[in-house]
Structures are given as C-alpha cells and as structure tokens.
Amino acid sequence: MTMIQLVYASRPFGFDESILRGILLNARTCNVRDGITGALICRSDLYLQMLEGPTDKVDAAYTRIERDDRHMQIRRLMRSPITSRIFGDWAMRSDPAHSWMWSREQVEDGAAEKAQDEDVLAVFSRLRQEAPVPTGP
Ligand SMILES: Cc1cc2nc3c(=O)[nH]c(=O)nc-3n(C[C@H](O)[C@H](O)[C@H](O)COP(=O)(O)O)c2cc1C
C-alpha cells in the first residue's frame, strides 16, 4: 500500500466554534474510516491542513474537501510519497494559530504559496514536537 502526505492551504468561509466543530467531526469520522491521519491548523485567515494515509484515500478526501463551501481559495501546496506518518496518533488533530507561524500580513502576502515543501514540512514537524501526544479535540 503506497502512502502520501498532502498539504493544502485555504481561506475559511465563516469561522466560529460551531463551524469548526462540525468540520472536525466530519473530518475525524471520515478519516477513521479511511485510515487517514493529520493536522489542521485553524485561524480566521487560514486553514493549513496535512493529510497522510493511503494514496487513493487521501486523494479522494482532498477532492471532497476542495468542493466544501466552508472554505475557499483552496490551493495544494505539496503531495509526496511517505513511508511513515507524522501524526499517526490523530484522526485529525486541530491546532490553533501559533505565534511562530506566519503573521496575518504574511498570509495575505501569499506566505503559504511561496513556502517550499521543506518549509511546509517544518511547520508540521514543529507542531508534532510541541505536543507529541494527543490532548483531545
Ligand atoms: C477545513 C476543512 C477540513 C476538512 N478535513 C477533512 C478531512 O481531514 N477528512 C475528510 O474526510 N473530510 C474533511 N473535511 C470535510 C469534507 O469537505 C467533507 O465534508 C467530508 O469528507 C464528507 O464528504 P461528503 O459530504 O461528500 O460525504 C474538511 C472540510 C474542511 C472545510
């Protein structure tokens, strides 16, 4: 079974607790079924999500996600084969904004699009290091 890691960025459309709860419930239900793990960084100006798992399942999830009207301006930043997962313990971890990430101005200026694969991976590796075990939803 081949596995990939896929990262995209998008702009939230309607951003509040209840929308976010709905998205995560949706995501976790599907991901448990599909063997997908990952993390979703959520802030009012940006979603940055990593999906990892079986190639066909991740591609199918991304196709559904692209059609979702709870966000817009969806752009894929990377898609690469992997042999091990970063977020193997999470059906979909959710992370708030971090001060060390891009500022609002940088995001507006296209920081996500300009990031190289290794920059994007560094963001998620850092998240993983800061909270290595699941802490609940
Ligand atoms: C920001 C965001 C993240 C999402 N993450 C996932 C995810 O990790 N896995 C997933 O299956 N669906 C995710 N979804 C939900 C999908 O868009 C979709 O609603 C869900 O897969 C169910 O698909 P269906 O309504 O076609 O059955 C996400 C949606 C948004 C807006």
Residues with CB under 6 A from ligand 1: 23, 26-27, 30-31, 40, 47, 49, 51, 61, 64-65, 68, 70-71, 92
The per-residue pLDDT for 137 is 53
Backbone angles phi, psi at 50, to 5 degrees: -110, 130
Query: CA of 4: how far to CAs of 33, 82, 86, 97, 128, in Å?
Result: 17, 5, 11, 25, 18
pTM above 0.85, yes or no: yes
Going by DSSP bridges, is the β-strand pair 37-43/93-95 parallel, antiparallel, or unpaired?
parallel
How high is the pLDDT of residue 76? 97
Q: What mean pLDDT do residues 96-124 have?
A: 91
pLDDT in tens, 36-94: 999 999 999 999 999 999 999 999 999 999 999 999 999 999 999 999 999 999 999 99
Could you report the per-residue pLDDT of 5-22, keeping only the tens digit for each?
999 999 999 989 999 999
Domains of the chain: 3-130 (3.30.70.100)
Atom 6 of ligand 1, residue of closest alpha carbon:
27
Ligand 1 center from residue 126 Cα (angstroms) = 24
Dist. CA 58–CA 75, nearest whole Å = 15
